[in-house]
Structure 1
Amino acid sequence: MSKRTSDSKVKAPLSALAARRLRQQQLAAQAEPPNPNPNGDSPVITPGLEAVPVIPSKGTPNAGSSTPLKSRSPSAIPPKETSDTVSQPPDANIDIPRQLSNFVQTEENYIYNAQTPETTVKLRRGESLVIQGEYRISVIGGSISICGAILEASASLDIVAPSSQALPVIECAPKSKKRKVDKIASKDGEYDAIFSLQSTQSGLNDIGRICPRFDRVWKPPLTSTVVKSKASESFTPILTATQPTPILTIPPSWQPAITTLASTKQCPKSIFIVGGKSVGKSTFGRYLLNTLITNSQLPTIAYLDLDPGQPSFTPPCILSLHKITSPIVAPSFAAFRSTEVVRQHHVGYISPREDPKYYLRCAADLMREYRRLVEQGEKLTLIVNTCGWIKGMGRELLQELVAVCEPTDVVGLGEVDGVFAEILPDEKGVKRHLLEAVGTGAVVGNTGGNQQFTPADLRMLQTIAYFHSQRKVGGDATFSFDFEKHLTAVPPLVAAYKGPTRVIGGITILDTGITPDLVFTALNATIVAIKLVRKDDREHPVLRYLEDVYGENGVVTPYIPANRFDGTSGMLPAEGTVTAGLAIVRGVDEANGELQLLTPVHEDEFNKWLEDGYRILLCRGRDEIPVYLVWDWRDGRAGQKGRRGTGSFGGAEKMPYLDFVVGGEVAGKGAKEWKVRRNIMRRGQQRR
């Protein structure tokens, strides 16, 4: 059996539409000659040559006795040009090495201590350093800034920086009236900041074991120059890269607005962020969050995430309220449990357009929880992140959310003048901050190229990481990730839904009118939300319905039909209901009345909920389950045609939900194109 690497030809199952598009793209590629240089970059180096070293600018200090840099590009000796040599045209397939860091490594400013082990880095003002990977940064002297966070001497922070998102930049913190900046003397000169780097291992760098799509997000670009360091370290400082490698920068108009919003003159604030898709709402919110925590007198920030499609701290399809006490420099899939989740609601969709009324009810319930915290004496500035739906009904939803959240400041990114005019009441005196989007000036990832992953890819990444997260054994409640075993090899939790040992007290399915005998057919191999309702909450509509219909005998399946409750699509009412996590229904044993659940929630937590008087309910929404969670691509039996001379797909019969791509062809039910009927038209509109 041949080995598979991260770049193997293993393909995920395709739908019929995707298969048709794939064939069309293949035919188009054969018909058209490839563009040797789509970006139109002028030639500087040829692929196969050593990367051109960075030439320091006038503001860059002298490198001194520099340490050799490691090059990730293949090395070769360029041919000498003669009179017969044909020079490369300007549009040849050659790319320019783009500078990510202007830090110049020497033996004095980058020191590795094998005994600690840690690396000491010294920066002068104007220098920057981009590091990919996982690491802990600790400030020894001076102060540094990273992703809006200002870290002073003795402060430390864990960083998670894969290439799935723009890489953060480490710089000396800007001067201010509050911050005294002193030069740090050293035998090779004076420095403005000294910090140490230590490797950290959360397990996230093994995510490629489960999903090869994300195998390279922890590795530097193949054509790049990096700072020389130990190969065993979990991070790599990158100096230049030929491949598009986005780094995190912000438009010029953002910093003054962030400074104004971080002021404590009016506290606590309620800051509402508005904008279309891909304009930088989450990036702005993260910068503002880190600035508020580290550069003001507000030790705790409340973060209300109302974007179910791309949430910042939870899996998709969830709205949530968080309390945050430390800066966060990590992508959304790596930020699970890095905050205190005050309350969350599973809405079942990645967009509010499917059930806007239920979406608003969940948002209102989260705001009531925030106000309860404020009434108890907590001074919490609130950041509200919204989704990118700003047209049509989306604009009406924003107007409702403004009424619910009552913001003191509204930040608009991109072309939102018309949105402001409709959603903001003039008499309330709400401060307006109109800023440019990340794509209209200095952009996030301005080193060239589009983002490598789509929003759907990032949702898949969030879901995979969530189901492989686990609590560490130790004094503090920290979490790690385990990708050593595939979920299909993990023993599931067995939860009874009927009988004297019943754990699951109710089941509902979003927006589906089915009979009770088909409930488990609809539940099998899907993601469900784990919801809690207190048993002593006698007025809760779910408990009243279950008691009226099923009583306490626990003999039959406690099924709650869709659309049972007013204003929802089969979802449980937000008021009085708590979302505790997500689970995958691995299997159903109807004979014994048991469900097999795969979930990062520990069985002790289930038992504690029951002891504390909660009723556990399962709610199936429209969460997308990544194919890599139900298919172990490392299993050589899956998707290989003709293995052992059988002439069939070995092992594929064990995965009845999946089809495979073999030799460029789709096998199974998805191999053929679907035939659709013509739209219904009046007789006069039909072609004769």
Structure 2
Amino acid sequence: MKRKAEKQQTAAPVSAFAARKARQQQAQIVTAPKAEPEVQPAAEPPSKRPRRSLEVDQPVETISPEPRGPRTRSSKKQDAPPPAGNVKERQVKAVKKQQEESQTAELEEESEEEESKGNATEDVHEMSENEVASVAGDADGFESPAETPAELQNFPLSKSRINKKDIVYADDSTLCVRIKEKMNLVLVGQYDLWVKRGIVSVMGAKLHPSSQVYRVYAPSTHSLPVIKCVAGVDGEAEVEIKSCSSGLSCLRDLSPLYQRIWNGQNTAADKLTLKGASQDSRRTFSVLYTSADDTLKRHLRPLHLDRKWSASMKALSMRQGKLRVLVCGPKASGKSTFSRYLLNHVLSPAPDTENGFVNTDGVAFLDLDPGQPEFAPMGQVYLAHLRTPFFGPPFAHPSLDNPRDGQIVRAHHIGSTSPKEDPDHYALAVMDLLSQYRSLLSQYPQCPLIVNYPGWIFGQGLEVATWLIQCLGLSDVVYMSEKGPTEVVDPLSFAANKAQVPLTILPSQPTDFVSRSSAQLRSMQIQSYFHNSQPTDLSNPLWQEEPLSRTRPLAVDYAGSKQGILGIMVLGSQISPDMLREVLEGAIVGVTAVESPSAIIGEVSAQDSLEEEEEEEEEEDDDDENDSDPEHVNMNANEQIGSGTTTSFETNGVIRTKEGLPYLFVGSGSCTPLDPKASNCLGLALVRSVNVTSQKIELSTPIPSTRLRDAIERGHQLVLVRGQLDNPNWSISEEYHAARAAERRYQESIAEAKQGGDLQKIDKANPNQTLSMLRERIRRASNVPWMTVVEDNSRRQREAAARREKSLWKLRKKAYPGSESETDW
């Protein structure tokens, strides 16, 4: 039979080239080296991530199972027992077995190394190899969890599982557990963390046992914080996790962007710790072992740092009070994450560190990114003085109004999410903030400085960055990309060498999956800002769940004897005075305190030129004196302003519109921004309406009344600055979403009453009448300008809506290359 098979094989027509190639392949198989991948494609090493959760009782890794190659004719021969005397096949089998053993040994070594460092960058690389739809490096993209395969949902989160012996005590709102050293827990939701024993690390901060309780916000929009035991008593740390009520989760009734970002139904760990409690008990947080435990089936990832990041943070923190670091890099490279972690690491309230240094002067945080600021709404650059670490994304702390945690020393309204719109004004604002930091050092000499630079690192942005390196007196420069480009790294290296400042280049660590785009995160942050408040008797902020349309506005006189504002400015484009009211209503403006008339750039020079012309006219007409000449009246008024004998801020640049609005137009073609040396932004406000009859502007603003009162008592004047920020579309639809949420809650209560058999409660409620009232509220809320509610999303309706949009006139914000302009409804 063997000879017959050989004759059949040789009978096939084979070219000389194919025969020579076949002989070469057989020779390579026999003498193949150990690391030759072409020997057997099916011997590709399996995914390394299952090794990370060896302590888990059940397998949690289903992302990339071990690949299997196609079965060919040669592979079938190898699977069968080889005949006696076939030396070549035995050699091939021995080589393959040796390769598999060596690959398994290498795999175990690599998995042990990753177990110790928890590198998240490797995870992103592995996912790209498995053809996962990754948006790494493009944080502006949007990807829904439903658009990805189901097997990608299972991702290891916690390294330890909670057993009965690990639970100290638990009830329907509190969970106290023990965490072993080098183990961690991952939770989703919001909670208060109290460290009772041992030392744990959370988002870069090392928390020691104390009486202080820290508020942690862990939404699914960002990587989840990891509670890791660094050191413990008898090898264990003890922490108490308690539910909290901040009102931030109530914003889901006002915007769909806040929906499905907190914890869902109780997980397996929650059910274990809630034994003995009522069946409907539910905390504001949930413990997750893997992403498959999430009842909402979202892409959840833990927030691990690259090993180089951790080493760099440790080295930077050793500089103590002399730390002056600039964090820069391209877009979506992890600059904000690194700055937040470094800030928490430096602010860790350790009673005694290794070098004996205790930070009592806080940390100065200079945020120069107006597009994604950390502690302020978009469109601002600011200098903040912080004293305690912060645990959560930017929309969880949109402002600083509690002096115990930190405060904003000075801020400037740029009026845009990018410095590209007006680089000169941006540079002036940065220079003023640097001078404010030098003044802060006189009071707090051991106050480190962390500078968060935006992704504007090309062209003029690179010039500003190199200028900061040369004049700021930095101790370190951190660049967040190992891929260059060289046209950016070389000038930064040259500037750092010239200033004798070390330059550290770290790998970027982007997020592999994002559920919100940059524009959506900005909308979430500014909506959180307008609903945020800081009660004086509470240490944590609160959020109001009512729409802004139902809150009481702040009425400010814009004309008359009780005029409360000096004027209104429009940045970026020239607006006709007749169009000022239309541009102002429904827009977000910056409330800026003008400290002196010199803040209006160009006004002093205009006054000087006017005085010179009038002096020349006086010299020519010395004998002709006319006290009733209006030019003389204007001259006297200008002299009073220039000499400072009066505190009036009335300037020649104010143009009164037909409604009486004070249009502060100073410049040629467009308004010149205020001088940062003599102005300070107090916050943002939403212009609800302009009442021409009473000459009042109705504003909705979260600025504390104490700050406004303090500015007025100092003799400052207020100016409203209209920039090019994103349109507040979220404020238009708040009432509609709130009405839909009210109807949904009422229907759920009726369904629960029917299920419970409480028919008497249903009869008293008169559900038909209540539902009709709620639906009428929805109808009224949907009939507002600039918003169209589409109930039928069929093709015919979409085509009709497209035809209507073509016939409508829309006002869009000015877009720069690479920006995301949110379209209207």
TM bucket (normalised to shorter chain) is 0.7 to 0.9
CA distance in 2, matches of 1:477, 1:326: 12
State whether structure 2 residue 716 is matched by structure 1 residue 662.
no
State whether structure 2 residue 661 is matched by structure 1 residue 557.
yes
Give the aligned partner of residue 519 of structure 1: 580
CA distance in 2, matches of 1:182, 1:107: 19
State whether structure 2 residue 600 is matched by structure 1 residue 541.
yes
CA distance in 1, matches of 2:201, 2:496: 37
Amino acid at match of 1:437: S
Q: Give the secondary-structure state (helix, strand or coil) at the position aligned to 1:548.
A: coil
1:114-138 deviation line (CA, Å, top 9, x unaligned): 49x6321101112110011111111
Q: Give the secondary-structure state (helix, strand or coil) at the position aligned to 1:253.
A: helix
State whether structure 2 residue 711 is matched by structure 1 residue 618.
no
Q: Give the secondary-structure state (helix, strand or coil) at the position aligned to 1:498.
A: coil
Q: CA deviation at 1:404?
A: 4.3
Amino acid at match of 1:281: K
Q: CA deviation at 1:105?
A: 1.2
Change (3 A) 1:228 1:574: farther
State whether structure 2 residue 592 is matched by structure 1 residue 531.
yes
Unaligned runs of 5+ in 1: 1-39, 45-50, 60-90, 174-180, 185-190, 676-688
Amino acid at match of 1:165: H
Amino acid at match of 1:438: Q
Give the aligned partner of residue 732 of structure 2: 630
Question: Which is worse superposed, 497-506 or 296-305?
Answer: 296-305
State whether structure 2 residue 605 is matched by structure 1 residue 502.
no
Give the aligned partner of residue 188 of structure 1: none
Q: Does the 8 Å contact 1:589/1:595 carry over to 2?
A: yes
Q: Does the 8 Å contact 1:229/1:236 carry over to 2?
A: no
1:492-517 deviation line (CA, Å, top 9, x unaligned): 11111111121112111112312323
Give the aligned partner of residue 289 of structure 1: 343
Change (3 A) 1:594 1:404: farther
Counterparts of 1:183-332 in structure 2 under 5 Å?
A: 183-184=233-234, 191-220=235-264, 228-230=272-274, 231-242=281-292, 243-264=298-319, 267-294=321-348, 297-299=358-360, 300-332=362-394
Decide which structure has the larger Cα Rg and report it: 2
1:533-555 deviation line (CA, Å, top 9, x unaligned): 13xx3544368685232799999
Change (3 A) 1:670 1:330: farther
Amino acid at match of 1:396: E
Q: CA deviation at 1:111?
A: 3.5
Q: CA deviation at 1:526?
A: 0.2
CA distance in 2, matches of 1:250, 1:331: 16
CA distance in 2, matches of 1:102, 1:258: 24
Counterparts of 1:281-430 in structure 2 under 5 Å?
A: 281-294=335-348, 297-299=358-360, 300-335=362-397, 336-337=399-400, 339-414=406-481, 415-416=483-484, 418-423=487-492, 424-430=495-501
1:447-482 deviation line (CA, Å, top 9, x unaligned): xx51111111110110110000112252x5652111
CA distance in 1, matches of 2:157, 2:528: 28
Change (3 A) 1:223 1:159: closer
Of residues 448, 461, 466, the one that matches 2:529 is 466
Q: CA deviation at 1:375?
A: 3.1
CA distance in 1, matches of 2:426, 2:149: 52
CA distance in 1, matches of 2:694, 2:376: 33
Q: Which has the higher helix share?
A: 2
CA distance in 2, matches of 1:183, 1:165: 32
1:659-680 deviation line (CA, Å, top 9, x unaligned): 33332245667744699xxxxx
Identity of matched residues, %: 27
Q: CA deviation at 1:397?
A: 2.7
1:344-395 deviation line (CA, Å, top 9, x unaligned): 1110111111111111111111111001111345321110001112223332
Change (3 A) 1:160 1:263: same
Give the aligned partner of residue 130 of structure 1: 186
Amino acid at match of 1:379: Q
1:537-583 deviation line (CA, Å, top 9, x unaligned): 35443686852327999994321126469xx9532221110100110
Q: Does the 8 Å contact 2:322/2:475 carry over to 1?
A: no
1:139-158 deviation line (CA, Å, top 9, x unaligned): 11110011110011115322
Q: Give the secondary-structure state (helix, strand or coil) at the position aligned to 1:357.
A: helix
1:56-108 deviation line (CA, Å, top 9, x unaligned): x999xxxxxxxxxxxxxxxxxxxxxxxxxxxxxxx985456221102211122
Amino acid at match of 2:159: N
CA distance in 2, matches of 1:41, 1:590: 68
Question: Which is worse superposed, 386-395 or 574-583?
Answer: 386-395
CA distance in 2, matches of 1:224, 1:604: 48
Give the aligned partner of residue 479 of structure 1: 541
Give the aligned partner of residue 681 of structure 2: 579
CA distance in 1, matches of 2:380, 2:367: 9
Question: Which is worse superposed, 239-248 or 274-283?
Answer: 239-248
Change (3 A) 1:670 1:604: farther
Q: Does the 8 Å contact 2:170/2:273 carry over to 1?
A: no
Q: Which has the higher strand share?
A: 1
Q: CA deviation at 1:311?
A: 0.8
Counterparts of 1:667-682 in structure 2 under 5 Å?
A: 671-672=804-805
Amino acid at match of 1:470: S
Of residues 502, 514, 519, the one that matches 1:451 is 514
Give the aligned partner of residue 81 of structure 1: none
CA distance in 2, matches of 1:452, 1:214: 11
Q: CA deviation at 1:273?
A: 0.6
Q: Give the secondary-structure state (helix, strand or coil) at the position aligned to 2:249.
A: helix
CA distance in 2, matches of 1:221, 1:418: 51
Q: Does the 8 Å contact 1:637/1:651 carry over to 2?
A: no
Number of matched residues? 563
CA distance in 1, matches of 2:264, 2:560: 55
CA distance in 1, matches of 2:587, 2:313: 41
CA distance in 1, matches of 2:585, 2:490: 47
Change (3 A) 1:459 1:377: closer
Counterparts of 1:8-47 in structure 2 under 5 Å?
A: none
TM-score of the superposed pair, with normalisation by structure 2: 0.63
Change (3 A) 1:217 1:563: farther
Higher RCO, Cα 8 Å, sep 6+? 1
Q: CA deviation at 1:532?
A: 0.3
Q: Give the secondary-structure state (helix, strand or coil) at the position aligned to 1:160.
A: strand
Unaligned runs of 5+ in 2: 1-45, 51-56, 62-107, 113-147, 275-280, 293-297, 351-356, 608-648, 744-771, 809-825
Amino acid at match of 2:687: V
Q: CA deviation at 1:270?
A: 1.0
Change (3 A) 1:592 1:517: farther
Q: Give the secondary-structure state (helix, strand or coil) at the position aligned to 1:99.
A: coil
Of residues 148, 154, 157, the one that matches 1:100 is 157
Q: Does the 8 Å contact 1:246/1:451 carry over to 2?
A: no
CA distance in 1, matches of 2:675, 2:265: 48
Q: Does the 8 Å contact 1:225/1:241 carry over to 2?
A: no
Question: Which is worse superposed, 143-152 or 605-614?
Answer: 605-614
Q: Give the secondary-structure state (helix, strand or coil) at the position aligned to 1:583.
A: strand
Q: CA deviation at 1:255?
A: 1.1
State whether structure 2 residue 201 is matched by structure 1 residue 145.
yes
Change (3 A) 1:588 1:672: closer
1:211-269 deviation line (CA, Å, top 9, x unaligned): 0222111124999875644533221111111342021111111111111100036x422
Q: Give the secondary-structure state (helix, strand or coil) at the position aligned to 2:358.
A: coil
Q: Does the 8 Å contact 1:289/1:301 carry over to 2?
A: yes
CA distance in 1, matches of 2:171, 2:266: 27
CA distance in 2, matches of 1:603, 1:505: 18
